[in-house]
Amino acid sequence: MSEPRKRMVKDESRGNILRNHSWSNGPDSEDEQAGENELLNECSVSPSHHRSTITDQPICNMSLFTEEKMRRKLKFFFMNPIEKWQAKRRFPYKFIVQVIKILLVTIQLCLFAHNNYIHVNYTWDNRIAFSHLFLRGWDSSLEVPVYPPVTGPLAIYKRDDFYNTIDYALDGYYNVSNAVGSYSYIAENNSVGPVILCLYQYKEGIIFGFNESYVFDKEIIETCINITDKTYTESSKSKLLLFKQNIKVNFSALVRAHLMFALKTVNLKAAGPMTPPDCYQFNIKINFDNRDFDGQMLLSLDAEPKRLQCKGDTRYVTDNRIESALRTLLNLFVILICTVSLILCSRAIYRAQLLKFETMNFFKKAYGKILSLEGRLEFLNLWYVMIIVNDLLIIMGSAIKEQIERKQFGSDHWNICSIFLGTGNLLVWFGVLRYLGFFKTYNVVILTLKKAAPKVARFLICAILIYAGFTFCGWLILGPYHMKFRSLATTSECLFALINGDDMFATFSATSFSKSPMLWWYSRMYLYTFISLYIYVVLSLFISVIMDAYDTIKIYYRDGFPKNDLQTFIAACTDEASSGLYKDDSEDSDLSEFIDRFCCCRKRPFYGSFSESSTKFSTKSEQTCGGAICI
């Protein structure tokens, strides 16, 4: 045998060997060396073992070549953007797109957050002003929620107070010009608009308390009237006005009542160098809530804002157009970059699935085994899935934001837009962890969370079951006597706060069991048991689960990470990214691939070399050219 031939056989003997469904890099013992030499002799030396060495020798060479090529292809697929640039000078398009997207989305969110704060704060301040103008008995102590509350709810307790509250609101509406705020009526000529009063009463509701009897029909009848300035001036009192309209208020059957009207105003505070003032219409509703029939009718005021197209000073017309054009341009850039990111990540996931099926086919034909589930899951990049989700959220949020800025949506869409943009931006910044994961120091956190996730999920299932039991028990027993346990939601919030050590003494002290010592002792046992169990046991176990995963990751960094069959197969490839071998394996560009398909050619991987019969390989009828088979 010639010297070059001996060198080639020696190099081929360094290939990876599949033993018991695992790969090793070269022979490890004399028996393995002898087995490999026997395999090489069968492939290339002894003609007595095969019918034709001319046919079998290319098959053996082709198998080793295809195996190494597949390893390099898979190793290149799992490289980070920097390694891919070193291997094939492939420009990191997705990385650059994500960086640009982070900048644009963050700028967009900051601008929208500023506008949203101005909008919400302005509407809240106007709601407080309307409460002082139109709600009888409103006090400044009710403006800011205080915990624990120092005052009771705003309510009326006498029938005359019901009519007096309506009169107070109507007087404030008809004399709105006395208000400090610049409020106007909704008519174009600023004429006083009508006020709508709606009463919701049971069809029959008569109570005879002296002999414990009643007459009741649960059907609710709605009665609405328009109160104009003229009719109110003639009657001077709402009670007389309702009497003239033949409307009788049966307080034993009155469920609720609404008094509704609207006002317009302009927010000059929003004006800036390029931002014009905002025009609003407030739809005001005063609610009389008597659904509990407990002797107190609760009072509240709602003011729903609606943005309008302003017809303001001509000095702001040009500025308004500039500001609108810049914001529209930013929204379009965000939608465009998110669309590009969505397409690139979807394309990457699609190509990963194609490579997965190709790898599964390779394992099946080359080694007669199926790729494991862990190996198949390696091709599903959840980072790309998260990026696709945040792209969709940001695109929808940007579209809604553009409609809001064009004054086409009302206040409810501000909240929807905030949810879309806020959640999308949250996931965008989460996506930065993917690139930090390429560095060992930062990757520890991600690997620890990934390792601990299954155990944490199982642990939380058990903890949630115990938590649900305490929640339902506390709601039932302590709900009527403790303000923190009035509803199922507040009970859960109270228990969660106790887990974190918040407001413990107030929870113990804010109980009213003066007439039931048994409930007092039970509440103490209930709270002590829950706090001790969750703070000293459940939370400690939860932390230990995380720490156990962290210790495991540190051991993996020291002794090596466990590998599945796919990772073991790829690990045999020791070619560096800068070796230049990956450039030789570069596939055709998308343009050349399109031309090949257009010319009736399709790609076919070299899996025919693993056929059991060498005759099929030597008698192929297809004409091959550069890896493409013309059909």
Read off the pLDDT band of 314 (50, 70, 90).
low
Paired tokens of 206: 């008569």
Average pLDDT over residues 186-208: 88
For residues 419 and 450, state if they share a domain.
no
Average pLDDT over residues 33-60: 43
* Inside any domain, residue 1: no
Look up the domain containing 295 and give its range: 146-309
Q: Is the pLDDT of residue 130 over 60?
A: yes
pLDDT in tens, 367-399: 888 888 888 888 888 889 999 999 999 999 999
Q: What percent of the chain has pLDDT over 70?
A: 77
| Dihedral sign of CA atoms 173, 178, 181, 185 in order | positive
For residues 155 and 280, state if they share a domain.
yes
pLDDT in tens, 64-104: 777 788 888 888 888 877 777 777 777 788 888 989 999 99
Domain boundary (261, 280, 309) is at 309
Report the pLDDT value the prediction gives residue 403, as an integer from 0 to 100.
87
For residues 264 and 223, state if they share a domain.
yes
Single pTM value for the model: 0.72
* Inside any domain, residue 497: yes
Average per-residue pLDDT in the chain? 78
For residues 332 and 276, state if they share a domain.
no
Q: Which of 294, 369, 316 is nearest to 569 (CA)?
A: 369
* Inside any domain, residue 255: yes
pLDDT in tens, 463-482: 999 999 999 999 999 888 88
Q: Which of 117, 108, 421, 112 is nearest to 267 (CA)?
A: 117
pLDDT in tens, 499-522: 988 888 888 887 766 667 888 889
Contact of 485 with 474, CB cutoff 8 Å: yes
In the chain, the number of structural domains is 3
pLDDT in tens, 334-355: 999 999 999 999 999 999 999 9
Count Cβ atoms within 10 A of the Cβ of residue 235 and give its class: 0-12 exposed, 13-18 middle, 19 or more buried: middle
Domain boundary (309, 343, 368) is at 309
Count Cβ atoms within 10 A of the Cβ of residue 606 and give its class: 0-12 exposed, 13-18 middle, 19 or more buried: middle
Domain boundary (551, 572, 593) is at 572
Helix (H) or strand (E) holding 375: helix 373-377
* Inside any domain, residue 581: no
